[in-house]
Amino acid sequence: MTTPEPRSRPHGGQAFWTVVVAGPAALSLLRLWIEAGGELQTTLLIVANVNTVNLFASMFLIGTRTVTMVLVVIFALGTLLGVSAADARTAGRPLRREPLFARWAAATPLWLLVATFVLAGATWQILYLPLLLPAFVMAFQTVPAYRGFDRAERLGVYAILLIGYYWLVRPVLSEDGFIVAMFAIPPLLASLAPGPVPVPVARVLARVGQPAVLALAVWSAVPVLTVPVLPLTVTTVSHDGGPQETVRGYVITSDDQLTAVLREEGGIRYLPNDDIEGRVLCPSAEQLPIYRVRVRDLHIEDSLLEAWGRRRRPAAPTDAACRTATTPDPAAALSSSDA
Amino acid sequence: MPRFRSAVSLTLLITLLIVAACENATHVPPPSVEDKMVEAGLRDPNRSPKLRIGVYTWQRTMGYTERGVNKGFDVEVARYIARNLGYEGDDKIDWVPLSSIADRMKVLEAKTVDMVVASFSINADRAKSIGFAGPYLLTEQSVLIPAALKGRIATIGDLKKPAYEVCTSTGSTSEALLNERRIPVTPLNSDRDCFKGLRDGTFQAMSSDRTVLAGFAAEYPRKFELPAIQLTTLGNPGIEELGIGVAKDNVALRELIDYFLYKSYRDQQAGRSTEWQRAYRQYLSHLGPASQPAPAQVPDLLDYDAKSPGR
């Protein structure tokens, strides 16, 4: 009698793809709990009314920056660890096992690597784009096209690119220290970035770096979970010509008689359609930048895609209703006065 | 050696990433428009749901009422500011009528209005008691005479003749200029009183802001004239800077108004059509071409368009 062969654990590559595909899908559903303010009934109302395709589309838009950030780090670190592991083997001091990221990076097809960097280049804030350069060199160091150049050719191309880069970002170099560091240091490090690293460093990276990156992935997913899934609106209502009321929130659904609005502070308001006088789309406070710095008139907290969009449609006036103080919810006002 | 180079490079990159994360979490951005709204008390749930704006209801072209509707250049500027503060439409504005020049200071000091937009010229004396945003218009001092006296009152010398009595409002820039020119003058409580005297023949000339006088002239077509008399002296160019008055202690509201005036000014400089230009064309085009002046103090505020090109 033969014992059944144990089922093999999923290969590193399979696990990777499971995380990449299933992770965002699960997150996009879980974030509805947060969107609903933790209320079960509100969550169910949103689930019942938010189109699945729209939900995934908004998740893709909001999450691309974070997902590409995590992938870029995994590919860069993975390739570096892979090169370092090979180097350690050659030196007769092999690592105990091939690092997980190294296996993921090795299993990644070139087109995905290119697509990730292109997406990152288009969606990362301009402030963080310089970090892509050393990451690019680290991640592509094993690609045959990169290895086809000898060291002198690589340095020549690098020097030309560096001159062009500094001409481009020259106006920013007079800003405060952190901004200058972000724009000046990463490109300089790019030429030094390709591996391998010393074996002890590789061991530390494998043991500490990999879990740290996974922790970073979870930490960076938090903002994605809290970004609203629906557009913010301000609805002006007035009953029988009475005083106007402004309701700030997210329209969940509307039928012949009522419109359900998830209020910004929480809770659902059902507004009679006949009472609605107007509705405008409003920006939210999270969209405000924290720096005033621009590179060639592109704001450093915009991605290239956003900056492109702003140049195409430069005027984005804020409707007066968006500045209007929100009228307190009648029910909430009543309960607070009771107290 | 290349191994250490890579390790050093990696260490520096990780350090930079940590610094970036810390900087992102701790960097204090400039105050936003919304922050200032809160600071100015506009988000106070106990405040009036309407914005209270003191305006003239009798000064043609600048601030007047017609069939119960407030009109004029000042009123349009006030509407522009009100809309940007979230009070769009006259049903969200409480227009507080001001009958005299002195009223403008009184209502601000008593805080019975949020702001005053009523041909309010900025000067150091007033700025001790109230706050000024702007200027939003520059205007010169001029003289108004009955059309019947056209040609007879045409110079400073004519104004000094005992046959002619000149009126102006108390404490105005015009009064200072007329005194410098040693022109005998009768100061009254308001321009309106002077104009009444001009109509009934008590006075033969009155002096005030050109915008105000043009408004009076427009009330009675062909009855009054604005002769080209230069009242300005070397020490006093006689240019009035009209500003928007706010309570002295509400600095945040003053900053918000300055910010929105600056936005309009910036749009004009960029060649975009502005509400200031539309209001000027509608009410003051007879004074000749003019452009909006830059506000004196522009606060550094963040708004939702902070990332837009050219901002």
Query: pLDDT at position A231, please?
Result: 86
Q: Name the helix (H) or strand (E) containing B283.
A: helix B275-283
pLDDT in tens, A233-275: 999 888 887 778 888 898 888 888 899 999 888 888 999 999 9
DSSP letter, residue B134: E
Question: CB atoms < 10 A from the CB of B112, how many?
Answer: 12
Distance CA B176, CA B161 (A): 19
Question: Which amino acid type is present at position A216?
Answer: L
What CATH topology corresponds to B140-225? D-Maltodextrin-Binding Protein; domain 2 (3.40.190)
Query: pLDDT at position A331, please?
Result: 57
- How many helices, marked H, and strands, marked E, lie in chain B? 11, 12
Asked if A263 is an interface residue toward chain B (Cβ–Cβ < 8 A), one would say: no
pLDDT in tens, B147-171: 888 888 888 888 888 888 999 988 7
- Which is more confidently placed, B134 or A182? A182
What is the residue-averaged pLDDT of chain B? 87
Tell which CATH architecture fits domain B33-138+241-287.
Answer: 3-Layer(aba) Sandwich (3.40)
Query: pLDDT at position A164, please?
Result: 86
Low-confidence ranges of chain A (pLDDT < 70): 1-17, 19-21, 23-24, 147-148, 315, 327-339
What mean pLDDT do residues B285-310 have?
Answer: 86
Cβ atoms of A132 and A117 within 8 Å: the answer is: yes
Can you give the three-state secondary structure of chain A, one letter per residue?
CCCCCCCCCCCHHHHHHHHHHHHHHHHHHHHHHHHCCCCHHHHHHHHHHCCHHHHHHHHHHHHHHHHHHHHHHHHHHHHHHHHHHHHHHHCCCCCCCCCHHHHHHHHCCHHHHHHHHHHHHHHCEHHHHHHHHHHHHHHHCCCHHHHCCCHHHHHHHHHHHHHHHHHHHHHHHHCCHHHHHHHHHHHHHHCCCCCCCCHHHHHHHHHHHHHHHHHHHHHHHHHHHHCCCCCEEEEEECCCCCCCEEEEEEEEEECCCEEEEEECCCCEEEEEHHHEEEEEECCCHHHCCCCCCEECCEECCCEHHHHHHHHHCCCCCCCHHHHCCCCCCHHHHHHHHHC
What mean pLDDT do residues B101-116 have?
Answer: 88
Strand partners, A251: A261
- Which is more confidently placed, B24 or B56? B56
- Residue ranges, CATH 3.40.190.10, chain B: 33-138+241-287, 140-225
Query: pLDDT at position A336, please?
Result: 44
Query: pLDDT at position B39, please?
Result: 92
Query: pLDDT at position A16, please?
Result: 66
Instruction: Name which of A196, A289, A328 is nearest B307 (Cβ-Cβ).
Output: A289
Test the B interface: residue of A70, A151, A154, A288 with most B CBs within 10 Å: A288
- Are B8 and A323 in contact (CB < 8 Å)? no
- Token pair recorded at residue A301: 């907290």
- Are B83 and A311 in contact (CB < 8 Å)? no
Asked if A82 is an interface residue toward chain B (Cβ–Cβ < 8 A), one would say: no
Residue B26: closest CA among chain A residues belongs to which residue?
Answer: A290
- Which is more confidently placed, B301 or A63? B301
Query: pLDDT at position A13, please?
Result: 61
- Token pair recorded at residue A7: 């089922």
What mean pLDDT do residues B42-70 have?
Answer: 87
Domain ranges of chain A: 12-226, 232-338
Test the A interface: residue of B1, B5, B10, B272 with most A CBs within 10 Å: B10
